[in-house]
Structure 1
């Protein structure tokens, strides 16, 4: 029996040389002889400064042809050790899959979280200033102004400014809602001649004007928000990236739409629409007006919980796409079934065609149940029951996966917060001791 002695960081292992098999050509165990760089002639053994706990599983794999992962060693460390000893990961037994591959999933989740919410507050591409010697003062002033407008945690005045902006957005949103209430609007002296099929809500909007106090308050809040947006755009070092951000684009559309509607409120609408062709104007104006509603997202855009929720939804797009595809197929099937079994019914509650039946299927599967269409035949009742149960099952399963993803991100966010506190404490200690230690964002 050809026994060899292997010293792994002080732990002595003895095994038969013939047991070493099923390893890669890059493994240091491939050629164990006196000419090996790991051979110690004084002790007549091979020394490796590696993890002994993992090497014990490696020797066990050589004897039993079964590779089990130790639970007391990090899976990433196990992967590195197996790569060093030349054993492929695919040889791991099924009972250890969860222990081994779960760490990979956890690391991917953590990397996504740290990429989206880094541990150390750092400036993004929109805030990457590279001042030149010739224009250092100008760039420094623009950088300070951008930090004041963009990062509300940079100073006390920035926090006050951020609070004023949030209050202004809230007031502007309330004013937008009040403008749709008929009791705060008065009749125009010259009403528009609208077409007969025009809805009552549209007639009320075009033939009335909001109270002057609402108009004045809306002009003040919109002026403040317009100036704030222009200052951001002027001081931003990367305007292209600035205009690609969703909230910045919606802010632009919001204050432009507000000035247009204020102009219509102050002046007579008949001055602008004397021809009576309103449809080419209504759609763009509705889009600009509706964009003001997106301003409320600025109130929660910096909240860590909201960022985790958005990241969870983005990471669960695959499951949500599967839900959408399965839900669409099931809605089409149930729509065709209901239309087929309701053909002999004369009830006006029965869908007139299969396309309308798809609307019924969607409303039924989502348990909304408007009641505008419903089955009246016995077979239609059976189809309705099966449709409802199927909808509950289809929606519940992917939502559980999304909730699990959110839970993972939320837990890792708490770990990130704990690590952030350690970094802040180290930074305070470095300031006290005068030690300059630059922390690299993770």
Structure 2
């Protein structure tokens, strides 16, 4: 019994390794394999077997097939579908892997089909028949050498139908990425649009201020860095820098200090001149009456026959200042390389007009004392000495706030023009309304006669009321006129606050940009 059990176990093991012996129907189930020549069978067994069975015994067994090597695993390819795994393969076919800049994104095909005509939608379309892509296995992963950070927001737009963007993105970069993916017309979410618009406004303000600063430098320097060519013009750049740039050298600082002292002296002379003129007119003209009403004040003056005489020492001192100003202006004019731009500068024109009063008084002589109106006109021109002092001190050129204010007004010219049009329309409308309101009120018995002279007096009253100044020289007397005055004052306050916030916000933006530009 033990021998039979051992033979059975050994035969099963041999049959498992051989493979084909156990499937042969004519072999005995428990006969062990023969290692040498087979012993002759018993005679009774040979007689009981058929010739076919004998032939089968004479055929050697089929050797076992070799096992697959571990380095060559038998893994089916993607297009192959095995029985029982159809559900898993359908889930795999419904997904795409997008490798953008080394970052992999996995999404469904139904997601990228949300916007037809885009680049991601074209990935899901079947390839044309007959092409290598149609004959090969389906591709599940696509690579794009684009910005991986922005692609996350692009894929989010396919999923949520809302396009967002990071806070530190540039508008041009975002537009380029959206155009590449075929989403150039995609609307940006309001939250991100406000942030992106604010950054774009800051960029535009920075570029606008940079252009303004370059124009400012070109306008005030007016000098080619190379300078004049030849020995004849070699001194012009040196003289221009000496006169136009006070901080360039010690000599330029001393020259600027001397010019400032002369400008202060001219202003002191101008102040003394105004006192002499006031004394003359107070002694020579006497007011005879003053009336207040709708037509304004009426002042009559009487000439007492006095003669206006100017102190000689004031004229001589002013003449000395004018000689210095003229010499400096002439030196700046001949050393400046761009004469046209020099003459078009407002401050240079103010320097030229400052010389006229002294020259006119020298030419006219004693006749100026007999013409008070001419003296008043020359005194008004002398007020330009203030601009000369301002230019010498560098308030307009060196002050950052002043340059920002000028640039703010220059960039807000559309808003300023619109405000002026509204202002003129209100002046004309309320001026005529005040005129006919007063006429209708005065036409009532017992109201008296109108005291205004013409429409220009009503327009003057409208300007004073709209600005809420209210001098009190002209005021309404009728009920309709008073109602018009109340509406005019209210509209003046409402209109006056329209332009101030626009200028204030823009001034703050430009000032912040100017400070940042100085730190660069």
Q: Distance between the aligned counterparts of 1:28 and 1:238, measured in 2?
A: 57
Q: Counterpart in 1 of 2:437?
A: 341
Partner of 1:92: 188
How many residue pairs get aligned? The number is 392
**Which one of 395, 408, 430 corresponds to residue 509 of structure 2?**
408
**Alpha-carbon spacing, 1:30–1:363, altered in 2? closer, same or farther (3 Å):** same
Of residues 232, 236, 239, the one that matches 2:336 is 236
Map of 1:70 onto structure 2? 166
| Equivalence for 2:238 | 144
Aligned to 1:248: 348
Partner residue of 2:262 out of 168, 191, 194: 168
Could you tell me whether the CA contact under 8 Å between 2:94 and 2:108 is conserved in 1?
yes
Give 2:388's aligned residue: 295
Which structure 2 residues correspond to residues 21-100 of structure 1 after superposition, within 5 A?
45-50=142-147, 52-88=148-184, 91-100=187-196
Distance 2:219 2:489 in 1: 49
**Kept after mapping to 1: 8 A contact 2:263/2:385:** no
Deviations 1:73-116 (A, max 9, x none): 34454344435545336622333332122222222221221222
Look up the match of 1:434: none
Deviation (angstroms), 1:4? 4.3
CA spacing shift, 1:15–1:166, aligned 2, 3 Å: farther
Does the alignment pair 1:392 with 2:493?
yes
Given the alignment of the two structures, is residue 159 of structure 1 paired with residue 256 of structure 2, yes or no? no
**1: CA distance between counterparts of 2:368 and 2:453?**
42
Q: Secondary structure in 1 aligned to 2:337?
A: coil
The structural deviation recorded for 1:314 is 1.4
Q: Which shows bigger deviation, 164-173 or 225-234? A: 164-173
- Pair 199,156 (structure 1): closer, same or farther in 2 beyond 3 Å: farther
Q: Summarize deviations over 1:368-422 as a string: whole Å, max 9, x none.
A: 1111211122332222222112101101121111111111111111112222xxx
Pick from 477, 495, 500: which aligns with 1:376? Answer: 477
**Residues in 2 aligned to 1:257 and 1:354: alpha-carbon distance in whole angstroms:** 37
- Aligned ranges 1:262-341 → 2 under 5 Å: 262-264=362-364, 267-269=365-367, 288-289=381-382, 291-298=384-391, 299=393, 300-302=395-397, 303-341=399-437
Output the CA distance in 2 between the equivalents of 1:285 and 1:348.
Answer: 42
Structure 1 position 13 matched with structure 2 position 110 = no
Give distance in 2, aligned partners of 1:79 and 1:86.
Answer: 10
C-alpha distance in 1 between matches for 2:220 and 2:510: 21
Matching residue within 324, 327, 333 for 1:224:
324
Q: CA deviation at 1:146?
A: 0.8
Distance 1:183 1:126, change over 3 A: closer
1:14: how far off? 3.2
Counterpart CA distance in 2 for 1:23 and 1:176 is: 80
Larger RCO, structures 1/2 (Cα 8 Å, 6+ apart)? 1
Q: 2: CA distance between counterparts of 1:63 and 1:73?
A: 21
Q: Which runs of 5+ in 1 are unaligned?
A: 36-42, 192-196, 420-442
RMSD after superposition: 4.0
Aligned to 2:458: 357
CA contact (8 A) 1:185 1:211 kept: no
